[in-house]
Amino acid sequence: MAFIQATHYSVASGNGTPALTGVGAGHALYLLIDDNQAGTATFTPTDSVNGALTQVGSYTSAIDNTRFSAWKIENVSSGSHTVTVVPSVSGAHGGWLVEVSTVASGSNDGEAGQALGSPGSGANAITSGNFTTTVANDLILTMCGDVNGLTTFHAGSNLTYTTVGSFVDSAGGDTMTLAYATAPSAGTNAGQWTDSTNGGSDNYVVIAVAIQPIGPSITSQPTNQYVTPGNSVTFSVTGVSSGGSLTYQWYNEQGSIVGATSSTYSFTPNYPTDATNSWYVIVTDSNGSVTSNTVEVIFTVSTNPRKRYPPPFTDPADQDYLSELTLIRWF
């Protein structure tokens, strides 16, 4: 599980339309919304490619009735995505749309909306929040709306945040800050944040979503290899860890391949036996594993027995050799 990218939006009334480009296939989109309409609005966010988002949590501030909510859609298609955020009441709202590297995992993925709204007193007061996670390596997305200015996220007792960015909600006036952290263990994980504006009392709301990792993802699949008999080939894969180091094991139709335990696998295929073989790799991290596409070796051989094989060509009779290559694959 990993944070990939994010964008923000803000509207005074009507629909919001945050958009992301270059979204990876099988990834997930999370939408964090700040409703400035005293908690009276409900929302129906819809992705332009994959349909409706599902709400995973909400929180209403006891201070000013501002409502924060969190939404998700998993296993999205690759490419550009625009989420249309439709409120039931036409008024101000804004927030962040986030891409994370995960794949569809059904209803039992351990996600939950969690929120805190107790401000510290005085300028630059430090406020702590505890977020409960179900397993180690949960990715915790956190959005803070601060009426007084920029919020700074920093390490709590065991959460170290990376701040993505901040923007001023032009409609509601809040400074909306997005940050994320990785839970080092299951159970209670504490983070901290401060209001950087001097003077007055802090007045902000925080919502966090703990996203349970479900194993690594593959961002670049191995591909079929074309080769003349006697030459070597290399299969390769690119994986992204959701927690811990990645390990690799390559397989063919006979089972696991001894010593083939890296992201690349080079060997000299046996002709013609391997013309009917296939290969794949299993990528594993501390949260699970994922299996790659199955790939093949496709041999190129001469169909003219009079021609010498392989090149170089020293006889004029061999000049038409390249025009007589045939791709061989038996099924």
Q: State which of 183, 211, 239 marks the end of a domain.
A: 211
284 plus 160 within the same structural domain: no
Mean of pLDDT values over 209-220: 77
Would the pLDDT of 211 be above 50?
yes
Q: What is the dihedral of CA 80, 283, 139, 214, to 10 degrees?
A: 90
Q: Tell me: cis bond preceding 184? Omega within 30 of 0 counts.
A: no
d(CA 311, CA 219): 37
139 plus 113 within the same structural domain: yes
- What DSSP designation does 85 have? B
157 plus 240 within the same structural domain: no
Between the CA of residue 60 and those of 64, 98, 197, 209, what are the distances in Å? Answer: 8, 21, 23, 15
Of the listed ranges 44-48, 103-107, 243-247, the least confidently predicted one is: 103-107
Alpha carbon 10 to its chain's center: 24
Res. 101 pLDDT band, cuts 50 70 90: confident
Looking up tokens 């891409």 gives 99
Which of 107-116, 132-141, 293-302, 303-312 has the largest mean confidence? Answer: 293-302
Mean of pLDDT values over 9-35: 89
14 plus 73 within the same structural domain: yes
More confident: 265 or 101: 265
d(CA 2, CA 191): 19
Q: How long, in residues, is the chain?
A: 331
Residue 242's identity, in one-letter code, is S
114 plus 168 within the same structural domain: yes
Beta bridge partners of 82: 19
Would the pLDDT of 273 be above 50?
yes
Res. 320 pLDDT band, cuts 50 70 90: very low
Res. 148 pLDDT band, cuts 50 70 90: low
Res. 331 pLDDT band, cuts 50 70 90: very low
Res. 217 pLDDT band, cuts 50 70 90: confident
- 219 and 238 Cβ atoms separated by less than 8 Å: yes
Would the pLDDT of 251 be above 80?
yes
d(CA 34, CA 286): 34
120 plus 176 within the same structural domain: yes
d(CA 27, CA 164): 19
Structure tokens at 146: 């601060």
| % of the chain surpassing 70 pLDDT | 69
247 plus 183 within the same structural domain: no
Backbone angles phi, psi at 250, to 5 degrees: -90, 150
pLDDT tens track for 23-52: 988 788 999 988 866 556 788 999 999 999
Burial of 297 (0-12, 13-18, 19+ CB in 10 A): buried
Q: State which of 211, 245, 267 marks the end of a domain.
A: 211
24 plus 158 within the same structural domain: yes
Q: State which of 211, 236, 269 marks the end of a domain.
A: 211
Of the listed ranges 74-78, 154-158, 160-164, 300-304, the least confidently predicted one is: 154-158
- 20 and 99 Cβ atoms separated by less than 8 Å: yes
158 plus 222 within the same structural domain: no
146 plus 280 within the same structural domain: no
What pLDDT, on the 0 to 100 scale, is given for residue 103? 52
- Encode 265-322 in three state secondary structure: EEECCCCCHHHHCCEEEEEEECCEEEECCCECEEEEEECCCCCCCCCCCCCHHHCCCH
104 plus 227 within the same structural domain: no
Would the pLDDT of 197 be above 70?
no
What pLDDT, on the 0 to 100 scale, is given for residue 203? 52
Domain that holds residue 295: 217-328
- Residue 275: CATH number of its domain: 2.60.40.10
Of the listed ranges 34-43, 239-248, 309-318, the least confidently predicted one is: 309-318
Would the pLDDT of 280 be above 50?
yes
195 plus 284 within the same structural domain: no
d(CA 220, CA 279): 15
Would the pLDDT of 238 be above 70?
yes
- What DSSP designation does 257 have? P
| % of the chain surpassing 90 pLDDT | 33
Backbone angles phi, psi at 19, to 5 degrees: -140, 145
Q: DSSP labels for 121-161?
A: SSTT-EEEEEEEESSTT-EEEEEEEESSS-EEEE--SS---
- Computed from CA positions of residues 10, 14, 20, 23, in that sequence, does the dihedral angle turn out positive or negative? positive
CA atoms within 13 A on the CB side of 210: 25
What pLDDT, on the 0 to 100 scale, is given for residue 29? 92
What pLDDT, on the 0 to 100 scale, is given for residue 285? 86
- What DSSP designation does 184 have? S
d(CA 54, CA 31): 10
Number of independent structural domains in the chain: 2
